[in-house]
């Protein structure tokens, strides 16, 4: 059956995981990546998760403010865009249609940053 690696986002056989890798869901190949690179991938996945939540809560907004202040420019840039979305329309229901209608600047930033690449939306 195998396991899912949360870094490379693949389903891999058990042999591709070490003892700690099974628990952490990180394959041997990804565990050899530098720690900063692994953290960067995890944080960008976390930011994509915020966009798919039904409500971006106050605690999530506090986390986004923390991510904006990080040294990694890509993560900080993505976090800033997601923070703008959270402040403009925290609820998921009709979020994109609201942003498309009222805040085209945020939609353009989302599209340029490739945070919406996984969603099939016609802009």
Largest CA distance in the chain: 50
Which pLDDT tens digit goes with each residue over 40-79?
999 988 988 898 889 999 999 999 999 999 888 889 999 9
> Model's pTM, two decimal places?
0.79
Give the pLDDT of residue 112.
Answer: 81
Angle ∠(63,68,70) on CA atoms, nearest 5: 100
């Amino acid at each position: 059956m195998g396991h899912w690696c949360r870094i490379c986002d693949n389903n891999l056989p058990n042999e591709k995981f070490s003892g700690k890798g099974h628990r952490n869901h990180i394959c041997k190949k990804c565990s050899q990546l530098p720690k900063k690179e692994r953290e960067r991938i995890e944080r960008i996945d976390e930011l994509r998760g915020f966009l798919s939540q039904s409500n971006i809560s106050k605690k999530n907004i506090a986390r986004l403010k923390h991510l904006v202040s990080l040294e990694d420019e890509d993560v900080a840039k993505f976090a800033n865009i997601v923070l703008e979305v959270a402040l403009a329309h925290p609820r998921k229901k009709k979020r994109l249609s609201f942003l498309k209608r009222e805040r085209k600047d945020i939609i353009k930033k989302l599209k340029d940053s490739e945070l919406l690449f996984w969603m099939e939306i016609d802009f």
